[in-house]
């Protein structure tokens, strides 16, 4: 899952430092209570069973015409190679810097798209991955468990400390075989950014949608429908 440190998917920290301050936006979440971050249930519709290529995944990403007026593609940021240290969460630290900050996951086939909304600081990111169902499930499960297992911790990227709080959210019941969801708050230099991150595995396809909570809630179903469409 994504603000980046720069995932998470999602790095979450370098982009955070470049974003203007924004107040917590929990639209769509106020009636949810923390619970298990994943839920297994039968998948609706057509399930992706064979691994898809990165090119095939890219064709299944949302584009501005899917999102509606006011959404613009966000230019890709230059690669960041700052050392990342996690303080106060041994389980997360053990995953390594990229995973610890919710960065792009290490699956062989992947595609992503980032968008800004209007003139505000609201953003939404979509990532698609494809691999065996077991590898996808084990990989995202390990990262979400580590991130939500520590309610508070600190990430230091390039010498800049970022305080992080995490909260499990109930699964969105949007379909798929497994679901994970969390709310993350990143604070640095007196500025805070709230990011919702929801992941859904459908067979051999993994969808991760991250960004402003209201935008994630608004476009999650649409992202899953397009990602699992047969045409």
Domains detected in the chain:
14-227 (3.40.1000.70)
pLDDT score recorded for residue 42: 43
Do 60 and 112 meet the contact criterion of CB atoms below 8 Å apart?
no
Question: What SS3 class is residue 61?
Answer: coil
Quick one: which H or E segment has residue 104?
A: none
What percentage of the chain carries pLDDT values higher than 70?
72
Residue 110 reports pLDDT greater than 60: yes
pLDDT score recorded for residue 221: 94
Residue 217 reports pLDDT greater than 80: yes
Q: Residues 109-125: what's their mean pLDDT? A: 89
CA 208 to chain centre: 5
Residue 80 reports pLDDT greater than 80: no
Residue 118 reports pLDDT greater than 60: yes
Beta-strand ranges (E) seen in the chain are 71-73, 84-87, 109-117, 123-130, 152-157, 160-168, 178-188, 191-202, 205-211
Q: What is the torsional sign of CA 229, 217, 29, 93?
A: positive
pLDDT in tens, 19-74: 333 433 333 333 333 333 444 444 444 566 778 999 999 999 999 999 999 999 98
pLDDT in tens, 121-155: 789 999 999 999 999 999 898 888 888 889 999 98
CA 214 to chain centre: 14
pLDDT score recorded for residue 96: 60
Residue 86 reports pLDDT greater than 90: no
**Which tops the pLDDT comparison, 142 or 12?**
142
Q: Residues 175-187: what's their mean pLDDT? A: 93
Residue 183 reports pLDDT greater than 60: yes
Q: State both tokens at 100.
A: 């610890």
Residue 16 reports pLDDT greater than 50: no
Q: State both tokens at 168.
A: 């499990």
The Cα 69–Cα 117 span in angstroms is 9
Q: Residues 95-103: what's their mean pLDDT? A: 54
pLDDT score recorded for residue 47: 62
| DSSP code at position 38 | B
Q: State both tokens at 157.
A: 């990227």
What residue has token string 């309610």?
151
Q: State both tokens at 65.
A: 């015409």
* Half-sphere exposure for 121 (CA within 13 Å, toward CB): 17
Do 2 and 12 meet the contact criterion of CB atoms below 8 Å apart?
yes
Residue 204 reports pLDDT greater than 60: yes
Residue 229 reports pLDDT greater than 70: yes
| Neighbouring C-beta atoms of residue 97, cutoff 10 Å | 20
């Amino acid at each position: 899952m994504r603000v980046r440190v720069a995932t998470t998917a999602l790095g979450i920290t370098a982009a955070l430092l470049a974003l203007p301050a924004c107040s917590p936006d929990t639209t769509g979440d106020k009636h949810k209570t923390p619970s298990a971050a994943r839920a297994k249930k039968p998948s609706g519709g057509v399930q992706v069973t064979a691994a898809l290529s990165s090119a095939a995944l890219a064709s299944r990403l949302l584009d501005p015409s899917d999102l509606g007026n006011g959404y613009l593609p966000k230019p890709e940021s230059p690669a960041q190679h700052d050392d990342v240290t996690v303080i106060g969460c041994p389980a997360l630290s053990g995953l390594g810097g990229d995973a610890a900050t919710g960065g792009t996951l290490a699956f062989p086939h992947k595609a992503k798209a980032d968008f800004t909304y209007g003139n505000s600081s609201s953003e939404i990111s979509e990532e698609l991955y494809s691999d065996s169902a077991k590898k996808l499930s084990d990989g995202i499960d390990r990262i979400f468990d580590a991130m939500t297992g520590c309610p508070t911790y600190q990430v230091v990227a390039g010498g800049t400390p970022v305080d992080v709080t995490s909260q499990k959210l109930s699964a969105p019941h949007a379909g798929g075989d497994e679901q994970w969801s969390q709310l993350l708050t990143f604070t640095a230099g007196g500025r805070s950014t709230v990011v919702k991150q929801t992941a859904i595995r459908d067979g051999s396809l993994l969808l991760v949608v991250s960004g402003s909570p209201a935008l994630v809630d608004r476009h999650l179903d649409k992202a899953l429908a397009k990602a699992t469409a047969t045409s």
